[in-house]
Structure 1
Amino acid sequence: MPLVEVTLAEGRSADQVRAMMREVHEAVLRTVNTKSEHIRVIVREVPRTHWATGDLTVSEMDAQNSASQQVREQ
């Protein structure tokens, strides 16, 4: 019984998360000898303020990227 867990920074739409779950399910179904009803996919969404790469949270990186984009547009 395959179990796939995916952790994402929050911010995607319900439709995007659902589409990703469908694609993951299909990939497991294609590559593992199992029945569709045995596949489990769990998605965990982490607040962007609770996920860091290096010493910057994802929300801080978002702010930096937004500021850089604004400078380029001027």
Structure 2
Amino acid sequence: MPIIEVNLLEGRPPEAKERLIKALTEAAIQSLGAPRESVRIILREMPPAHFAVGGQSVAAKAAENMKK
């Protein structure tokens, strides 16, 4: 049973997340030969303040860019 975990910044529309779920499921079926009903997808959304790149949160970077 493949279990695929994905971490995303929150804010994407439900339709985009559904497309991702379908695409990941198809990828597992094609690449692993896994039965569709055995594929599990876990999406974890996090606020921009909880994800950082280069020592700065995405939220702080966005706020900085808005001041420019």
**TM range, smaller chain:** 0.7 to 0.9
Q: 1:53 maps to which residue?
A: 53
- C-alpha distance in 2, partners of 1:56/1:40? 32
Q: 2:21 maps to which residue?
A: 21
TM-score, normalization by structure 2: 0.87
Q: 2:37 maps to which residue?
A: 37
Aligned identity (percent) is: 32
TM-score, normalization by structure 1: 0.81
Q: Which runs of 5+ in 2 are unaligned?
A: none
- C-alpha distance in 2, partners of 1:61/1:40? 33
Number of aligned pairs?
68
The alpha carbon displacement at 1:63 in A equals 2.6
Which amino acid is 2:17 matched to?
Answer: V
- C-alpha distance in 2, partners of 1:54/1:65? 15
**Which of 1 and 2 has greater Rg?**
1
- C-alpha distance in 2, partners of 1:65/1:20? 29
The alpha carbon displacement at 1:67 in A equals 4.4
- C-alpha distance in 1, partners of 2:40/2:62? 31
* CA gap 1:67/1:21 in 2 versus in 1, 3 angstroms: farther
- C-alpha distance in 2, partners of 1:21/1:44? 12
